[in-house]
Structure formats: C-alpha cells, structure tokens
Amino acid sequence: MKKYKGEQIIEQLEKRKGGYFFLKVKADIVNQFKNKRHTRLICKLDNKLSFQCGLNHLGDGNFFIIVSTKNLKSINRQTGETIQFEIKEDPNPLGIEIPETIEILLEQEKDLKDKFSKLTDGKKRSIIVQTSKIKSIDKQISKIIYLINNPHLQRHKGK
C-alpha cells in the first residue's frame, strides 16, 4: 500500500470554488498510487485524526484533499497554519462502509445486487451517502431500490 508523508500550509479555495479547506497533493505523488487520481485515501492529520477521502482536481494539474471545518477544529488548526499529514491508499475501494440495510437488501434481491455491482464506485458511494441520512428503514429501502434502478437520476453536484 503506497503512503506519502508531508507537511504544508492549510489553504482555502476561493468562495466561488466552494471555499473548502484543503491540502494540496502534487500530481507526481498521485501518479504513484495504483489507481492514480481515482484512488480513495485515508488521510491522517498531525498524527491525531484519520479520515477517508478522495482526490479533487486543483486545476493546475495537481490535486487536493478537502479537510472539513469540523476536522480542523478537532485538532485545533486553521487556514494558514502548517500541518503534518500522511496519506495512504484506502484498502476499501469504495472509501466508505456499506450499511447493513444495503447489505441485507442486496443479499435478498439478486437482481438488485447485480445492478449495484455494475455501478461505478462513485455511484455506489452516492447511494450510500444519500440513503444513510434517512431515518425510516422503509423509506431508506425504497430510496435504495429507486437509486439502484435509476442511477442516472442520482443527485449531481451543484444541484
């Protein structure tokens, strides 16, 4: 499993580009990972906090990892400060755990399981994220079935 350690200043994107706090990851580092820019990562900050993440295009050929405000606060850091970080390939290609509700549903419904397995990892992640916010199990199952059967209707960024 590839690993990279570094130290850099926490930056923030312009508000019109989302205003996210981020750590820059140079293209030559990304290209060392097996799946290049499609690699899911585990990022560790100041040897204190670890979280799963993905890579985003910075626009200059390099990439960045979003660091949430919540994560920065939990380690008492802010934009402009230098931080130590480590990134390594996430052994889970989805970069997120599949909830029990989805696992059970897929075990019981072979047709759904086949459709789900053909989706891209990004679409699978999207289904997991969208449905995990639903409290009612019945509504959650309905939404999972709907999204697996209609992957082209999933929410898109910016909408």
pLDDT in tens, 13-55: 888 777 889 999 999 999 988 888 888 899 999 999 999 998 9
Mean pLDDT confidence for 70-74: 92
Q: Residue 104 above 70 pLDDT?
A: yes
pTM over 0.85: no
Q: Residue 105 above 50 pLDDT?
A: yes
Percent of the chain as helix, strand, coil, to the nearest 5: 40, 25, 35
* β-bridge pairing 41-45 and 82-89: antiparallel
In the structure, what pLDDT confidence band is assigned to residue 91 with cuts at 50, 70 and 90?
Answer: confident
**Which pLDDT does position 92 carry in this prediction?**
83
Provide the CB-side half-sphere exposure for 154 (13 A, CA): 21
Contacts of 156 (CB under 8 A, 6+ apart): none
* β-bridge pairing 49-53 and 41-45: antiparallel
**Which pLDDT does position 153 carry in this prediction?**
65
**Which pLDDT does position 38 carry in this prediction?**
85
Q: Residue 155 above 70 pLDDT?
A: no
